[in-house]
Amino acid sequence: MEIAYQMIEVGAEIHRVEDSVTRICHAYGVKRTDVYATTSNIIVSVEDTDGSVLTQTRKIKHIGTDIERLDRLNDLVRGITRDAPEVSVIHERLEQIDKTKSYPLWITIPIHAMIAGAFCMFFGGRRAGEILAAVLIGLFVGFLAKTVETLKINKLLSRFLCSLLACLSAYLCLKLGFIHTVSNVIIGNIMLLIPGVGLTNALRDLFAGDIITGILRFIEALLLALMVAMGYVLAAFMLGGAL
């Protein structure tokens, strides 16, 4: 359950989670395993060789994307199904995975800014002022995104705030005369807020036959995209930008 919980938490597709739980139980001689998982909860029911049935439920509170941690969890599952180690060994490995450090802010925030500038150039921003504005706003939005992530604010609200402040900053640069157009600057930063990974996972779950989870993830991706759009619309109204 802990492995399944962590896999969903870092962005694994539901088919992978259910298959991993089934394989782990099979490695330890469980007679029958029934797994039902969504992005909000996991239910596992196992029948032992003596006929006793155990059921456990776990609620998922937060979902993100951490490919490195997911790779380590996948490697742990493969080791369990191959060697069936003692439970203490599994707990030790899980503790090591929990202690895996993410990239520090002094790396992630500048990369966030560089990507914003690159998208600005990709969508037609050629003037140095536009690229510089996109990079500086990217620094600000990257720091804001990490801050709200640490505070565990509602994902929809955090995406709306990031979009609103990014667009307000771009319009402010326009009002002050630093740039001549906001479209490329805004799109350079908004591209980082688009839920591309969520939409990809939704389609992947749908194709794998997990209809309910696929629909839930698809609706979540649409709502996140709507929050990004609402942030832009509100910023345009507040500072007199064209819709």
Residue 123 within a domain:
yes
At which of 79, 98, 117 does a domain end? 98
What is the reported pLDDT for 243?
Answer: 43
Last-in-domain residue among 66, 98, 130: 98
In angstroms, rounded to a whole number, what is the distance separating the alpha carbons of residues 153 and 166?
18
In a domain? residue 243: no
**Shared domain check, 109 and 87:** no
Looking at the structure, tell me whether residues 123 and 152 fall in a common domain: yes
Same structural domain, 136 and 222: yes
Looking at residue 4, its pLDDT comes to 92
C-alpha to C-alpha distance for 232 and 190, rounded to whole angstroms: 9
Same domain, 144 and 216: yes
Q: Within this chain, do residues 231 and 117 fall inside the same structural domain, yes or no?
A: yes
Q: Are residues 82 and 124 in the same domain?
A: no
Give the strand order in the sheet containing 41-47.
Answer: 32-37, 41-47, 53-59
Continuous segment of H or E residues that includes residue 46: strand 41-47
One domain for residues 18 and 130: no
Same domain, 150 and 52: no
Instruction: Using CB atoms within 10 Å of the CB of residue 130, give its burial: 0 to 12 exposed, 13 to 18 middle, 19+ buried.
Output: buried
Angle at CA 5, nearest 5°, toward 70 and 205? 70
This prediction has a pTM of: 0.80
Which one of 69, 98, 127 terminates a domain?
98
Domain match, 150 and 78 both: no
Q: Identify the segments of the chain with pLDDT beneath 70.
A: 240-243
In a shared domain, residues 207 and 114: yes
* Structural domain harbouring 68: 2-98
User: What digits encode the pLDDT tens for the residues 181-236?
Assistant: 888 999 999 998 988 888 888 888 888 888 888 898 899 899 999 999 999 999 98
Residues 60 and 118 grouped into a single domain:
no
Q: What is the structure's pLDDT at 160?
A: 93
What pLDDT does residue 234 have?
92
